[in-house]
Amino acid sequence: MSETSTNHAPATTHQDGAEGAASSSSAERSLRLLSFIADAGRALSLAELASALSLPKATAHRLCSQLLEHGYIVRDVDERSFAVGPALRKLAFDALSHSTVRGLRHAVLTDLVASVGETCNFTTLDGAEVLYLDRVEAPWPWRLTLDAGAHVPLHCTASGKLFLGTMPRERRARVLGQLTLSALTPNTLTDVASLRADCERIARQGYAVDNQEFIPGLVAVAVPVRDAGGETRAALAAHAPVARMSLEQMLGHLPALQQAAERMTELL
């Protein structure tokens, strides 16, 4: 009896170890695949993923199927390519929201609101929308309230147009081709030519404005938060009702926004 037990134990341990190694390998491949899709900034085909990650097509297909099932990736419009899914966006948002750096970024926003006197927010690009990462409200009775985690359109918000304007032209053309340019106010740019021209101005001047294009009576200005390589990773924006501050007055706060953006660069 004791000899049987002794001989059986190593076999079980070996099996467990093999299963653990296989699971670890699968997890590592899944993480590499997710990281590659997120970093690409566009939808990728199964062939592209398999080639870039040196995976057999069958393995890449199995990983994509698993990640699709759990919402970490989604099929693109043509259904043959894959993009970042809601589960991965939520994971990224939760990580950003609960990191120790979040408190430091919030302090930058608080200082900016004290300087500008109006609500300021910190946003990033999430697919074809703007994602609010953080915001600090001004102490006024009339204000727009959007919680962290909320999404707003690209084509009619200061942050959204800033992200479009600072994109490489080829990527911008792809994104513009996918957007639905809905008219949310009489000032919303609803044709691609006008929006493209606005993006070119944004690229030259280094900031974007929303002149009552998202909500009637609301103006906003946004500036880029760039990483060490000069790529726009986020945006800082301030907005106010025109009854309290005109767009011209808001533009007078550009230096304060740009200084805050420099502080934010160190907190990316």
Q: Give a yes or no: residue 93 inside a domain.
A: no
- Which of 84, 111, 137 is at the close of a domain? 84
Residue numbers of the domain that contains 260: 99-265
Q: Tell me if residue 229 falls in helix, strand or coil.
A: coil
Closest CA to 97 of 136, 134, 53, 150: 134
Mean pLDDT by 10 residues, the chain (268 residues): 40 44 73 92 90 93 93 83 87 72 90 96 91 88 69 96 95 92 97 96 97 96 94 95 95 97 91
Q: Give a yes or no: residue 252 inside a domain.
A: yes
Helices marked H in 119-236 — which ranges?
158-165, 169-178, 192-205
Q: Give a yes or no: residue 159 inside a domain.
A: yes
Same domain as 120, residue 47: no
Q: Give a yes or no: residue 91 inside a domain.
A: no
Q: Tell me if residue 95 falls in helix, strand or coil.
A: helix
- Residue pair 257/162 in contact (Cβ under 8 Å)? The answer is no
Domain count within the chain: 2
pLDDT, tens only, 17-45 = 444 444 558 889 999 999 999 888 788 99
pLDDT, tens only, 158-193 = 999 999 999 999 999 999 998 999 999 999 999 999
Q: Which residues share a beta bridge with 219? A: 211, 240
**Which residues are CB-contacts of 173 (< 8 A; sequence separation ≥ 6)?**
none
Average pLDDT, the chain: 87
Q: Which residues share a beta bridge with 45? A: 81
